[in-house]
């Protein structure tokens, strides 16, 4: 025999909910007395307070092992990469000689990029260093901060310096300058105490033919040891990394040319196929003429 439960009216359900929220007879709020709620709140206050204290202590201990100036782990930056300026999307340097707007954006970017290299700024902020040797500045137990940096003067870039240049880095005449820079790696002794330089070439035979002749500044694309090691942004406040300027003199017009530049240094590998930017950079150059 099935016993049917008595169906409660809507009013009864509401009254039961009211009594559950607050029972005036037992003075219970949501089924618990004030003392019970106090013990629960005290428990969770102590529990989460303990977790917060443990987390804060753990973070404090961890931060004691981390330097404000040098990354703790640099295993992913063993080989510095190269990059070009002007920085463009997809590393395409496209110049339409007859269209000022097509190359003026490159000129503006280069003006801003090279401003810290002005000779007057370099003379004010940085040191004249002895070429051919690393500019080491050890702490020797006492924090040596900030580190001094060696001068890299804009005039070292020759006809690519843009100083008093009516051709605007050669972009208005179809002989553009492209600047190569090595990415910064803290405490990295580039070159392993041997001379190093940047070389550029067409990626394929047809690219080499269409690339034509070019000149590099400083001569032979040399990068001096005195600009290393780099001690980090907070330590090396006025550091300006060395540049190599490449001026392309007679690129075949209206043809896309694939160019690759590499750093030739004893301790920088440039043949890692898994990392296309390790010690090298590839970009496309096109000079459009009508």
Is residue 274 pLDDT above 80, yes or no?
no
User: Which CATH topology does 82-288 take?
Assistant: Immunoglobulin-like (2.60.40)
Which residues, 6 or more positions from 189, have their beta carbon under 8 angstroms from its beta carbon? 134, 228, 229, 267
Q: To the nearest whole percent, how much of the chain has pLDDT over 70?
A: 92
pLDDT of residue 113: 96
Cα distances (angstroms) measured from residue 211 to each of 42, 176, 228, 252, 264: 77, 12, 32, 7, 21
State pLDDT tens for residues 78-98.
Answer: 688 899 999 888 899 999 999
pLDDT of residue 170: 95
173: left (phi > 0), else alpha (psi -120 to 50), else beta? alpha
Mean pLDDT of the residues in the chain: 89
CA distance 215 to 27: 92
**116 burial level (CB within 10 Å; 0-12, 13-18, 19+):** middle
Is residue 118 pLDDT above 90, yes or no?
yes
State pLDDT tens for residues 102-115.
Answer: 899 999 999 999 99
pLDDT of residue 235: 86
The residue to which tokens 């029972």 are assigned = 23
State pLDDT tens for residues 143-180.
Answer: 777 889 999 999 999 999 999 989 999 999 999 999 99
């Amino acid at each position: 025999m099935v016993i049917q439960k008595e169906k409660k009216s809507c009013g009864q359900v509401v009254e039961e909910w009211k009594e559950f929220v607050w029972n005036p007879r037992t003075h219970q709020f949501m089924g618990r007395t004030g003392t019970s709620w106090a013990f629960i709140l005290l428990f969770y206050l102590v529990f989460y307070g303990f977790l917060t204290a443990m987390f804060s202590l753990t973070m404090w201990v961890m931060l004691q092992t981390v330097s404000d100036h040098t990354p703790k782990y640099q295993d992913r930056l063993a080989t510095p990469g190269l990059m070009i300026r002007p920085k463009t999307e997809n590393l395409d340097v496209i110049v339409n000689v007859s269209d000022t707007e097509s190359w003026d954006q490159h000129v503006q970017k280069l003006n801003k990029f090279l401003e810290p290299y002005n000779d007057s700024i370099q003379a004010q902020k940085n040191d004249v260093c002895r070429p051919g040797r690393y500019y080491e500045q050890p702490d020797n137990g006492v924090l040596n901060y900030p580190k001094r940096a060696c001068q890299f003067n804009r005039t070292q870039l020759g006809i690519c310096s843009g100083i008093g240049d009516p051709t605007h880095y050669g972009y208005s005449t179809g002989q553009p300058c492209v600047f190569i820079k090595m990415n910064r790696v803290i405490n990295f002794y580039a070159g392993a105490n041997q001379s190093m330089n940047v070389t550029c070439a067409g990626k394929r035979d047809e690219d080499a033919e269409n690339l034509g002749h070019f000149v590099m500044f400083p001569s032979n694309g040399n990068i001096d040891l005195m600009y290393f090691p780099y001690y980090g942004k907070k330590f090396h406040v006025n550091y300006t990394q060395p540049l190599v300027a490449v001026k392309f003199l007679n690129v075949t017009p209206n043809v896309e040319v694939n160019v690759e530049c590499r750093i030739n240094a004893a301790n920088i590998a440039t043949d890692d196929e898994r990392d296309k930017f390790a010690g090298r950079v590839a970009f496309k150059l096109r000079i459009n003429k009508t």
